[in-house]
Amino acid sequence: MPSANPSSWITLIAGVGIGSIVAALVGRWSAQAVTISNHRQNWINALRDDLVTYLREIDTMHYRMNKLWGKAENRARLTTWKSSRTPGVQRC
């Protein structure tokens, strides 16, 4: 059996070492991208919740102000509109 050339073993070991380093760098980059994506999604969800809260408060304030100082026909129309909203929407 012919023996392997020593330089081929060195090439193999160097290739495995460089491959491991490249795999570690790609894995780190991938994990960092996933972390950034998760933080971005959490930020979007928090912004969405804040907007819903803000718009709900504006809607409630509009409803109450019109109920107190609005014209009678507007109050009746507003009450009808408020009661006909979808059941999934929380009422204040």
Question: Using one digit for the tens of pLDDT, what is the confidence trace for 13-55?
Answer: 777 777 788 888 888 888 888 888 888 888 999 999 999 999 9
User: Do 78 and 67 contact (CB within 8 A), yes or no?
Assistant: yes
d(CA 86, CA 88): 5
The pLDDT, as a whole number, for residue 27 is 85
Statement: residue 79 has pLDDT above 70: yes
pTM: predicted TM-score of the whole model, two decimal places: 0.47
**Tokens read off for 15:** 């290739």
For residues 13 and 68, what is the distance between their CA atoms, to the nearest angstrom?
Answer: 83
| Pair 7, 14: CB distance under 8 Å | no
**How many other C-beta atoms are found inside a 10 Å radius of the C-beta of residue 15?**
10
**Range 65-72 average pLDDT:** 72
Which of helix, strand or coil describes residue 50?
A: helix
Q: Please check the confidence at residue 86 and state whether its pLDDT lies above 90.
A: no
